[in-house]
Amino acid sequence: MRRTDELVDSIVERAQIPPGKRRRDIRRELRSHIEDFVDAARQAGHQEGDIQKLALAHFGDPGQIANGFAWVYRYERRAVFVFRYSLSTVILASSLFGAMLAMQTSLAWGFGNPVTKVLASRHTVIEGLDIVASVAAYLGLVSLENLFQRRSFPKAAILLMAIVGVVAFVCGASGLHVSFLVFGVVNGVFLRAVQRYVSAEALRAGVVAVCFLLAGFISGLLWSPAWNVSRAATCATWLAMGIGYLMITGVSARVDAALLSGLERMQVEE
């Protein structure tokens, strides 16, 4: 009954039932329902070649069944999504921020600048907020794409910018600093666009490197019109950050898969 097994798997996946015990129970319930029908069909004298077709026809519309399960488990699915999204953001942003701090600390020590000045600077705080906002925007964009079947990226990007725009307006009206939100959504959309539309990894790395190096040059020019060691360090920092962001886009799916696997193991242990 290979086709019926594929049908069950398709329904469970389309319904996005939370991983673990519930997903296994739904699969078991659906397969049990099919087996009962198959046994009844055999007892009625139907040929084996016809039983599978009858089972598929008896099963009903897979889309409606999946939508029914999706509705039943909507709250648990949202809770799992929020948990995975939040934890993925924390893990990826912390990893990148730690790498950036290590590099900047090494540069400061190499040029004879106080390390504590780098770690306690306002620039470091802003950089941390930029990283968190960028990672959150990228992961949010990837998740929003699942809402659309056609032209998912541009639609998700517009929706993300609308959401961030509302949040930025509310925060700005309250007198809060919001430039990191703008940077985050622009950076997240850029990274996702490069990932989707530039297939060659070498070319993808080149595009990100050139864009971030140019951004670092402009940033250094605003702070110091004359070329000096400080502007060179700024360019190097931006370049390293761009490479770090590119690496994040490559490992984010693995982190998400690892979190899903961890949730499944926790469900099994329970």
For residue range 205-214, list pLDDT tens digits in order: 999 999 998 8
Position 161 pLDDT exceeds 90: yes
| pLDDT > 70: percent of the chain | 77
Average pLDDT of 35-64?
70
More reliable by pLDDT, 224 or 22? 22
- Residue 224, phi then psi, degrees to nearest 5: -145, 100
Please tell me the distance from the alpha carbon of residue 210 to that of residue 194, in angstroms, as a whole number: 12
**Domain extents in the chain:** 2-72, 78-269
More reliable by pLDDT, 240 or 36? 240
Q: How many CA atoms lie within 13 A of 36 on its CB side?
A: 8
The pLDDT, as a whole number, for residue 68 is 75
Of 92, 206, 204, give the one whose Cα is nearest residue 140. Answer: 92
All residues at 6 or more sequence positions from 132 whose CB lies less than 8 Å from its CB, including other chains: 89, 93, 97, 180, 184
What is the overall mean pLDDT for the chain?
78
Position 269 pLDDT exceeds 60: no
Average pLDDT of 57-81?
72
How buried is 150 (Cβ within 10 angstroms: 0-12 exposed, 13-18 middle, 19+ buried)?
Answer: exposed
| pLDDT > 90: percent of the chain | 17
Q: Is 258 left (phi over 0), alpha (psi -120 to 50) or beta?
A: alpha
Q: Which amino acid is at 60?
A: G
- Calculated CA dihedral for residues 201, 207, 210, 211, nearest 10 degrees: -130
Please tell me the distance from the alpha carbon of residue 15 to that of residue 12, in angstroms, as a whole number: 5
Position 202 pLDDT exceeds 70: yes
Quickly state the pLDDT bin for 227 (edges 50, 70, 90).
low
Please tell me the distance from the alpha carbon of residue 143 to that of residue 164, in angstroms, as a whole number: 15
Tally of CB atoms within 10 A around 185: 25
Helices and strands (H, E) in the chain, number of each type: 11, 0
Average pLDDT of 36-55?
71
101-154 pLDDT, tens digit per residue, is 777 777 666 666 666 666 666 777 888 888 999 999 999 999 888 888 788 999
Quickly state the pLDDT bin for 268 (edges 50, 70, 90).
very low
Quickly state the pLDDT bin for 264 (edges 50, 70, 90).
low
The pLDDT, as a whole number, for residue 2 is 62
More reliable by pLDDT, 9 or 252? 252
Using the structure block, give the residue that is written with the tokens 């990007």: 157
Please tell me the distance from the alpha carbon of residue 246 to that of residue 244, in angstroms, as a whole number: 5
Position 83 pLDDT exceeds 90: no
Helix (H) or strand (E) holding 268: helix 229-269
Query: What is the model's pTM?
Result: 0.72
All residues at 6 or more sequence positions from 261 whose CB lies less than 8 Å from its CB, including other chains: none
The pLDDT, as a whole number, for residue 186 is 93
Quickly state the pLDDT bin for 184 (edges 50, 70, 90).
very high
